[in-house]
Every structure is written in structure tokens, then in C-alpha cells.
């Protein structure tokens, strides 16, 4: 408990059944030794780098780009949140547009530099149904909500540090990955497979997203939380 704030967990539980981009198993755990025969329980974990809720650093798509261990805590990983909720209209292939963001800014004010933009589509409700969450077409391509490619220019103009969403990709089903190339190419990061974004206000909350500090990594699972200000208790 942090006085004055509610902590909202934005991270999916990791297990062997989580949805993955390819549909294959993305996370495994096994006992190395166990009590009572041994003094302690020791476990081994094996996972793909983009298992569950995770972060993409610029080096994921950009040769020579910033790696996971180079992302800074104070300026990139612990920052204010702008959260746009389109869950009432987001269906398969829905793309959050510049018009959506312009309406958001008219209502809640201009997105501030140094913040992160999170897109709430409500897609996380399908997390425990891998087939529905992937929503793949006949060719096996992922089909989920995302952001339109044009949104990238607004993010760069507003000098945001990153973009996150509660689906597999901010590019949705666009397999040319325009936002990946544009934003990662500009030194921004992407967070994918978030959850509980419906509990985040449009403005005023703070993100803490903590990847494993792996040298030269392009991606990493994260524990992401939001700090949401709570109203003071009156006497």
C-alpha cells in the first residue's frame, strides 16, 4: 500500500496455457529439486522473450537500437499514463485512430511529453481462451485490435516515451508492423498483452513497468503496475 494510491496490476499470470504469437507453448516451469528430500524447492523456467505481458525495446526491430538493459527507470519505465478506452467499440481488427486520440485530447487535455500512451480495447477478456485471443485468420495471421499507423506521428509529435496495448500488438493484424518500425526506430518502446486497463483513469495515473535486466535483450517479460490516485478520506 502506497498512501494516496491504489495499485492496479497490469500483468497477466504466466503459465503453460498463455496465448502466444505462434500458438505454441511460450512458458514452462519444472522442479529441479524439492522438499522434503531436499532442503528447498528449486525451479527452472523456460520461456520465449515475448511471453505474456512484455516490453519491446528499440533493438527488437532496429539494428543498433537501445536494448532492454538501457531503458531508464526514471525517464522511461516509471512515467505518467495517458489511457484511451475504446473497449465499447473495439472489435477484431479495430484500429485506434488519430480521430480517437483527438477526441481524447479534447476531453482530457493534450498528451504530455515524457508520458506513455496505453490503449484499452477490452481484448484482455479473452486471455484465457488462446484461440479467441489470437483470433487468427485462415493463413494463421493474428487478428486483433491495435492502433492505426497514422497514430505514430502523433506519439512522436507529443514526445511520448512509449505505447502499450492489451492485445498482441499495437499494430493489430498489420503484419508489416509500421508502428514497430516507426516508434522503435525513434527510440520508443512498446508494451504488449497488458490487462486491467479498464481500471486506469484517462489521465493522472503512473506506470511502473519493470523488465528483467538482461544485457543486450530485445524483449523481456515484465511486471507492470499502475499507481492510481485515490481521493483523500474526509474526517
Let me know if residue 215 belongs to a domain.
yes
Let me know if residue 30 belongs to a domain.
no
pLDDT, one tens digit per residue, over 45-58 is: 999 999 999 999 99
Report angle CA 47, 126, 12 to the nearest 5 degrees. 40
Name 129's Cβ contacts closer than 8 Å, sequence gap at least 6: none
Let me know if residue 47 belongs to a domain.
no
pLDDT, one tens digit per residue, over 176-228 is: 999 999 999 999 999 999 999 999 999 999 999 999 999 999 999 999 999 99
Alpha helices in 27-81 (DSSP H): none
Q: Does position 125 have pLDDT exceeding 90, yes or no? A: yes
- Give the Cα separation of 47 and 15 in Å (integer): 10
Let me know if residue 19 belongs to a domain.
no
Q: Does position 234 have pLDDT exceeding 70, yes or no? A: no
Let me know if residue 77 belongs to a domain.
yes
Total domains, the chain: 1
HSE on the CB side for 166, CA within 13 Å?
A: 28
Confidence tier at 231 by pLDDT (50, 70, 90): confident
Range of the domain at 69: 5-12+52-229
Q: Provide the pLDDT for residue 229.
A: 92
- Give the Cα separation of 190 and 165 in Å (integer): 8
The three-class DSSP label of residue 157 is helix
Let me know if residue 167 belongs to a domain.
yes
Let me know if residue 176 belongs to a domain.
yes
Note the maximum CA span of the chain.
Answer: 64
pTM beyond cutoff 0.75: yes
Let me know if residue 137 belongs to a domain.
yes
What CATH number did the domain enclosing 172 receive?
3.50.30.50
Amino acid at each position: 500500500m502506497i498512501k494516496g494510491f491504489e495499485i492496479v496490476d497490469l500483468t497477466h499470470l504466466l503459465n503453460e496455457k498463455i496465448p502466444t504469437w505462434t500458438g505454441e507453448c511460450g512458458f514452462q516451469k519444472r522442479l529441479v529439486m524439492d522438499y522434503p528430500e531436499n532442503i528447498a524447492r528449486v525451479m527452472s523456467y523456460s520461456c520465449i522473450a515475448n511471453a505474456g505481458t512484455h516490453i519491446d525495446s528499440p533493438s527488437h526491430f532496429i539494428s543498433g537500437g537501445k536494448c532492454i538493459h538501457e531503458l531508464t527507470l526514471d525517464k522511461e519505465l516509471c512515467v505518467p499514463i495517458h489511457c484511451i478506452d475504446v473497449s465499447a467499440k473495439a472489435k477484431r481488427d479495430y484500429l485506434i485512430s488519430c480521430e480517437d486520440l483527438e477526441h481524447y485530447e479534447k476531453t482530457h487535455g493534450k498528451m504530455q511529453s515524457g508520458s506513455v500512451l496505453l490503449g484499452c480495447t477490452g481484448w484482455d477478456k479473452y486471455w484465457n481462451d488462446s484461440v479467441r485471443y489470437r483470433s487468427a485468420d485462415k493463413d494463421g495471421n493474428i487478428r486483433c485490435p491495435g492502433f492505426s499507423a497514422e497514430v505514430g506521428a502523433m506519439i512522436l509529435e507529443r514526445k511520448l516515451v512509449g505505447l502499450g496495448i492489451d492485445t498482441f500488438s499495437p499494430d493489430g493484424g498489420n503484419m508489416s508492423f509500421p508502428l514497430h518500425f516507426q516508434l522503435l526506430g525513434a527510440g520508443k518502446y512498446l508494451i504488449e498483452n497488458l490487462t486491467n486497463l479498464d481500471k486506469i483513469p484517462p489521465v493522472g495515473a503512473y506506470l511502473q513497468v519493470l523488465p528483467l535486466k538482461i544485457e543486450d535483450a530485445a524483449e523481456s517479460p515484465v511486471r507492470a503496475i499502475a499507481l492510481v490516485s485515490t481521493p483523500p478520506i474526509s474526517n
